Each structure stands twice: as structure tokens, then as C-alpha cells.
Amino acid sequence: MTFFKRGFIVTLALAFVATPLCIQTAEAKVTKGQASVAKRSGKLYINQRQYDKALEQYMIAAEGRPDDSEVQYYLGWLYSQKELFEEMNEHYNLATDRKWKRKVDADRKELWTRYYNMAVKGMNAQRFDFAVEQFDLAITINPNEADAYEGLAITHLNTGNSEAGIEMYQKGIELVIGYNLDSLITGYNLDSLIVQGDIEKILEFNPQKPREVKPQKAQSFFNLGGALMNVAQVQKALVMFKMGHAIDPEEINILQHMSIAQYRLGDKEGAAESAEKALAIAGDDPKILNIAATIYLQAENFEKSAEILEKVVEIQPDNMDALFNLAIAYKQLDKGDKALNLFAKSVEANPTDIDSWYQLGLLADKIDAYDKAIEAFNKVTELQADNARAWAALSRVYARKSEVSEGEVAAECVKKATEAFQMYEALSSQNQE
């Protein structure tokens, strides 16, 4: 009896000790034969649309046959059905056989296009959060497609997130040109290159020449340059405009903004040169003509500016900006009568245009048309009572008129001159405080 009990105890102990051996047996590696069976089972489950079971079988198959491109492809495909794109890529990248790699490329293209198009629709509908999500998914599916980065950049810029927009544009462009833009910028003395206009040296920064860039991609450089201009990174913006111009020398918008950037950087000669290039391509475009004229006006080339602005006014007789600038140019060229008529047209078209009224007053004063000058400066003070320079100008005109007048008119002019000067002094002291 005692012996039986001992035997029973020993048997239990042996059974307990043997338990770990059973666990080790269950953890044994999957054999190639087992992997083949799992692979066939996985295919059957896919045909039955039982994707979770298919995934289990293909995971077993991948353990036994890790180099099987077909297995890796179907694992990637199954993860794509769950929108687990990082896991999808992990397995798609292991499908290296030509046949399965072609299928991977086709799948990625189809998926990328689907999410990219959804993102564009969301962006156009101003559903920016949704658009960001879809662009992010498209980028995860295929991080080597530049268009998704650019779409994401535009979305960020539309929501006022300039920093993120610039970053995404830069990534998209880097995919196109084949090298890092920051390396380009830091690899050379940027200021020196801009002054020299040595864009060819910039474009050849990479020892391995970048692959050919399609002309439509010039727009990407233009957009990035515009975004950089908006955050006052004018030097870097100019490099982007110059790169865009090197890709597509006929693109007017790039030349136009290149000229503006050069002007803002103090390179008036470069700005004029870019404006001339734009004029050679689109000499009848009022926008281009206006920009060129403004640059020449600021560079004090009044003859050239007037010549261009006359064309603008001929094309657009009601273009008040052009009329105003042309009047300024005429004034500097001592064509007072012409300038006066243009300023008069300007204030007639826009009676609240303070600058035009002020310029009209200055010009009338210059040619001793005192009453016209007084009318103009009075109008400025009516529209803007705290305009100190208008009160000062009004005081000066009344004083000058008093010198050529007699009797009550002269006395009234002295009184008005004194009152206007007192207003000027009061406003000046307020501004100093």
C-alpha cells in the first residue's frame, strides 16, 4: 500500500518535470514543409476573403520560408487591406524577385494614387485636416513620390503653417533633383553665389549630376521660393527662383518674382535684368510691365520707367497704380503739366486716395498752382486729420501764396498758414511723446 502511494507520487513528479519539455517542442522552428502547407492554406483563405486567417498562415509560412518573395508579397498585401502601411512596406521590401517586385510596384502605385486623389479632393474642399491625413498615408505608402510632399506642403501653407509647408516642399524638391537642399545652401557661400548669379555652380553642387528635371517641376521651385519670401527668407527664395528659371527659362512668374527678390536684396541691376528678360517674353503683359516700371522707378531711371508705364496706361487706361507711378516719373522728368493731369485723373477715379492727393498738392505747389495745391492738401487733412506732413505742406503753400497776394487775401493766407503750422507742431510733439 505504501509502495503504491510512493509510486504515484513519483509519477506525478515526473509528469510535472516533463511539462517544460512539451513547451519547448511547441516552440520549435517552422520547417519548410510546414511553411509550404501554411502558404497553400493562406492562399485558400485569401480566396475565401478570410484575411485574418490568411495572415496567420502567411506569418507561419514566412517563418519557415523568409526568402520566399511570394510569401512576403502576400503578407504585405494583407497588411495593406488593414491600412497598416508600415508593416506592408516591411514585407513588400522583402519581395525581391522580379515578378513579385513588379506586383509590389503596381500595388503601391494604385494605393498611392487612391490616397493622393482623396487628399487633393479634401484640400480642394478645404477639409485640410482630412487632406493632411491622406497625404501622410500616401507618403507612407510610397515615400519616393514627390507630388504627395508638394500637396502636403500646399495644404500646410493654406492653413498658415509656413514652417511645415516649406519643409514638405523642400523634401519634394530633393526627391526630384536628387540631393539635399540644405547641403547645397551650406556647401557654398550663398551670398556670394547670389551676387555672382552663379546658379550653374549651385545646380552642379552634387558630384553626381542630378537626373534630368522636367520643366513642369520649375513650378515646385517657384512655390517654395514664394513660401520662403512670405517668411522673409529672401536670399534662399532667390536661389529657388534661380533654380526654377534654370529649368524653365521661359516661365514668366519665376522671372517676375526673381526680379522682386533681387530688388528686395538691393540688387537693382539684377532686378532690372530679370525684368528685361520677362519683358522680352511677355512685353504686353501689364503685370510684367508694371513690375519692370516700378523697379526702374526705384532705381531712378525715370525715362525707362515712364516709357514702360505709358504702355501700361495704353493697355489699361484705368490702372490707378500705373497712372500714379507715371505721374511720379513725369514729375521727376520735369513734365509738370502731364504729371498734374495724371494725378487729377487718379483722385477723380479714387477720391479717397491720400497719396495721390498729396502728390497732386506737391506738384501744384512746385509749379506755383497755389489754389490747386491748397485744395489737395486740405483734402488730405480731411481724409487724415493727423497727417503732420500735409499740415506742414499746407502751411508752406499758404505762406507762399500770401507773398504774391495783397490786402485781405494776403492776410487770410497768413492766418491760414499760422493755423496749419500750429497743427503741424501739435502733431509733431504728440509723435515725439
Task: Specify if 413 maps to a domain.
Answer: yes
pLDDT at position 119, please? 93
In a domain, 392, yes or no: yes
Q: Is position 408 within any domain?
A: yes
Transcribe 275-315 into DSSP letters: HHHHHHH-TT-HHHHHHHHHHHHHTT-HHHHHHHHHHHHHH
What 417-426 contacts at long range (C-beta under 8 Å, 24+ apart), as own/partner pairs, is 420/391, 420/392, 420/394, 420/395, 421/391, 421/392, 421/395, 423/381, 423/391, 424/388, 424/391, 424/392, 424/395
- CA dist., res. 245 & res. 430, Å (int): 50
Would you state the pLDDT for residue 75? 92
Residue 433 lies in a domain: yes
Query: Is there a domain that residue 27 lies in?
Result: no
pLDDT digits (tens, 9 = 90+) for 260-314: 888 888 888 888 888 888 888 877 788 888 888 888 887 788 888 898 888 888 8
Gap between the Cα atoms of 401 and 404, Å rounded:
5
Check: CB of residue 311 under 8 Å from CB of residue 289.
yes
In a domain, 386, yes or no: yes
The pLDDT value given to residue 286? 82
Domain-embedded: residue 321: no
Decide: helix, strand or coil at residue 207: coil
CA distances from 297 to 186, 233, 359 (A): 35, 25, 16
Domain that holds residue 381: 373-433
Can you tell me which residue has the cell 479717397? 352
What local confidence, expressed as pLDDT, does residue 265 receive?
Answer: 85
For residue 389, being part of any structural domain is answered with yes
What is the tens place of the pLDDT at every residue in 135-176? Answer: 999 999 998 888 899 899 999 988 888 888 888 988 887 787
Backbone Cα Rg of the chain: 38
Question: What residue ranges of the chain have pLDDT lower than 50?
Answer: 1-26, 187-198, 202, 204-211
Domain count, the chain: 1
